Amino acid sequence: MAVAFTFPGQGSQAVGMGKDLAVAFPEARRVFQEVDDALGENLSKLIWEGPEETLTLTANAQPALMAVSLAAIRALESRGFSLKDKVAYVAGHSLGEYSALAAAGFVSVADAARLLRIRGNAMQAAVPAGEGAMAAIIGLEQADVEAACAEAAQGAGSVCQVANDNGGGQLVISGTKGAVELAAKLCTEKGAKRALMLQVSAPFHSALMTPAAEIMREALGSVAKAAPVVPIVSNVTVTPTNDPDEIARRLVEQVIARVRWRETVEWFGANGIATLYEIGAGKVLSGLARRINRDIATASVGSAADVEAALATLV
């Protein structure tokens, strides 16, 4: 099998996402209802009607994006698609790992929704507002970015580290606000094409998220888990596994660790994957994949029309 499924992370959300899936496929509609029931609120209404600023909140965006991804999976399955039979690996960008794992049966959709609500709240609460920051560094070698982070984090209590290696010359750094601002300045001095402070609510994927990691350790320990029917390539290790205990450990580590997306796409290319399908909202991962490895074909599956197109080649 030369196909892998990838699942998007925060930033891919948009008001109205997944609505046509729910209209076209009863199985997709049931996913949204299952998520609503699990959270005890009408998240579907927020997803489809907004307001955008409320949907974008971490605690809402995370389960919302998972819901859209699983709606797309259920739409495919309703027409005869089998993840186990047609897909070699799954992977997800940050919260997308939970979507990938729910699709592969590691946890139920309801538990994935509850876990992501806990994760979003915990990540938001880990650092007081205004004390953390993130910045995107464009067009600078990873070693230079890491050196800038190390230099900027010299002061007591300062944290600055690479949070996302997205490929295509894009790295995201995260940590205490002053250290990130200094590192961004140093990166510009080192020749970065751009160093942009990001409008985010917390310093994700940094050591400052340690309290959130501990909350997720407890939360993951309290849900039923099964071996996924397709191995997942971990953000943390860039290696495939279907061992439930290892997956849970990696999900805890992932909260504070780097999202190694460039390496993940490179791993797919080195291990026979010819096509990456992005399952859910947006086309961010497809764009990144094309910049990382142009030999891998990409396709996005986030609408009813996308489902029909994918079925033509997957079933």
Catalytic residue among 69, 205, 300, 303, which? Answer: 205
Backbone region of residue 81 per phi and psi (left: phi > 0; alpha: psi in -120 to 50; beta: other values): beta
In the residue annotation, 44 being an active-site residue is answered as no
> Phi and psi dihedrals of 161, rounded to 5?
-150, 160
Rg (CA), the chain: 19
DSSP letter for 207, please.
G
Q: How far apart are CA 118 and CA 63, in angstroms?
A: 10
Q: How far apart are CA 175 and CA 167, in angstroms?
A: 20
- Spatial CA neighbour of 256 closest among 214, 190, 207: 207
In the residue annotation, 205 being an active-site residue is answered as yes
**Longest alpha-carbon distance in the chain:** 57
Catalytic residue among 12, 44, 69, 94, which? Answer: 94
Strand stretches in the chain, DSSP E? 3-7, 89-92, 132-138, 160-167, 170-176, 194-197, 232-233, 240-241, 275-279, 297-301
DSSP letter for 259, please.
B
Edge to edge, the sheet with strand 160-167 lists: 160-167, 170-176, 132-138, 194-197
Is residue 208 helix, strand or coil? helix
Query: What amino acid positions are annotated as catalytic residues?
Result: 94, 205
